[in-house]
Amino acid sequence: MNKKFLKILKWSTRILALAAIIFGLPFYFGYGNPLPFINPDYSVWDNVWLSTFPLMFIGLGVGWKYPKVGGYLIVLPIVIASILGLITDGEAAGPMLIPLAIGVLYLVVGYKS
């Protein structure tokens, strides 16, 4: 991978991460009470994702400086939450494929740098 392509990939990933943060945070805070396991009306599915989102948002931000750490903070919680979601409710979270792809791109950038 040449340096020019790696630089383009790094900045594309950063811009996508910023867009995901800007687009995702209003949904997270608009959920009402975004703290997991506080509201007894939330299902296991809701609580799992409310636990995943803060790690994902932290990973999107940390990835700017430390792409490997940011990538793992995004990919691992999303994969674990998706597996738990499939086990508990039988649902997959399709929109979470976008931050998952950003996390994978962070990992690629981190390991190729």
Question: For the segment 44-98, what is each residue's pLDDT rounded down to a tens digit?
Answer: 888 888 889 999 999 999 999 999 999 999 999 999 998 888 888 767 778 899 9
Q: CA triplet 54, 57, 58: central angle to 5 degrees?
A: 85
Q: How far apart are CA 21 and CA 99, in angstroms?
A: 9
Residue labelled with tokens 């990933």: 13
Q: How far apart are CA 87 and CA 44, in angstroms?
A: 10
Whole-model pTM over 0.75? yes
**36, two tokens:** 């997991």
pLDDT band at 43 (very low <50, low <70, confident <90, very high): confident
